[in-house]
Structure 1
Amino acid sequence: MSKELKTGIIALSIIALGIWGYNFLKRQDVFQSGARHFFVEYDNINGLSEASVVTINGLQVGKVDQITFNTDPEKKGTLLVRFSLENSFEFSKNSVAKIYPAGLMGGQNLAIIPDYTGSKALSGDFLKGEIKSDLFSAVGEKFNPIQSKLENVLVHVDSLVMGINQTLDKKARQSLNRSIIGFEGTVYNLNKTMRSVNQLLEDNKVKVNVTLDNTKKITEDVSKITEDLAKAELGKTIKKLEGTIDNVNGLLTGMKKGNGTLGKLVSDDKLYTNLTNATKEMEELLREMKLNPKRFVHFSLFGKKAKPYNEENNNNNVSNDK
């Protein structure tokens, strides 16, 4: 074998090894001829790179071959990702190619979310693309609305403070400071009063306990009295008392109307007048019997007659014998 032939063979071997090494670094196997190729369109690949791993249900089944800008004028600016699958696993065209974080250290991989409804996906078909946010992106997405709201709040607070400064002059601010100082003094005095009350309660703890015990005993006695009253059939007694009162009211009503002897005595003026006159005559008779007993009991042997009744003497309480 000539020297030139050996040199050519060595050169071709070096070139072949270089091509193989380059594709190996890109995770492309030049000896694999049965791989299937699929395409996905993204507005943003979020750091996905060529030679990134392609997985199905966590199993590595391929790699990203190429990432280029879409040449379609209507889709200008979108990115076209071409990836190959070395696995014969079958799925439909409705499956999703989702970009997801490879780990906390960075990097992105491509996961096929298989769907089995619809027609089978063949090499060269386009799949639907999605992006799964990583931890920091998710935190950023959640924090962005909060940040904007916080900025708006700070702006309003700044405007409020400026408005207060413009509204309150120096004297008003001094007055506000004095009010705050006075409020602080009030709080201090209130705390001092509360400490005094606590000390008073502590000093009179025994008396308070005795008072509470007495109150409890009184409450128990009242409860017992109430129970005794309930057992004493107070309702029946009240009903009887009501009946008695009704009878008295009826008696008083009859007396007022002049019914019965007592009613006639109370309401009949003539009977009252007669009774008054009889009482007066009885009084005069008793006085006459007292002053002139001889007119009623006479034992004279000589036939001397008693003096007749003298009304004037009787009224003056004087005997007729004088």
Structure 2
Amino acid sequence: MSKELKTGIVSVIIIALFIWGYNFLKGQNIFNPGSRYFYVEFDNISGLNEASIVTINGLKVGKISKITINNSQEKRGQLIVRFTIENKFRFGKNSTAKIYSAGLMGGQNLSIIPDYSGEEAVSGDYLQGKVEKDLLSSLNDKLTPKIAHTMEGVDSLVTGFNQILDMKSRESLNRSILNFEKITLDTKNSLTLLNSVIKNSKENIESSAKNAKKITENFSKISENLANSNLSKTVKKLETTLTNVNVVLTDLKQGKGTLGKLMKDETMYMNLTHASKELEELLREIKLNPKRFVHFSLFGKKTEPYTNNSKGIKTN
């Protein structure tokens, strides 16, 4: 195959695709020559364009292929919409083509409301046209009478209120409003003063918070030290010591041991008392008459007998 032939074939394919794409955008499918087309007339198409789709019961069945202006004397100014439908969808001539809103963001589509009574619609027939109001228009139509009725009621209420309030009542109401304004101003001044006090006390509050934090940290350290000091063993040792002390006190109370006998045995107590008294007398005698107990002479002098001064008795 020559290069020129290849180039010619490619050119023909490109031209064919261009023609098919152009007709497809216009709503005509050249590969489906059996597609039917219909017409519908509108006074206002409400934004419908040649890119809009055609649906039956929500299913896409075709496209708007062309929109033109009717130039006839009787229907001058009307718009003629041409759309294509696939052959497999059948409906009667009494069917209606309705323009409806595709969503809140705008855009209009064409919906076929099929009517199967009477003769079947054939390609080239004119269908009845209808425009469905969008959501905002419907709400406006429904709310406008209600809003007007409500405004009339408000106007009547205000008029009756003005009739009820005489001059004296109005003056009283004005005074109440002025008092309310004064109360509002006083409240505002109080809040300003409170904010000033809080601002001035901010440093003290922060200092107190820091001190509280330090106290908490110290208490935590003390708790940790107590936990680490094995307090349970110390308490156990203290309990053992107290038990031993109680045993000793019990023995003393029962007269066991030297201290217990000394506390309980009266004879021993009396003997110790007498011995202590005699020892005291002996010490006093030694102090008063040392020669009676100690004698020392370098020349061998004879020891003089002890004389009891109280009785005048000499002893050898």
TM-score (norm 2): 0.46
TM-score for both structures, normalised by structure 1: 0.45
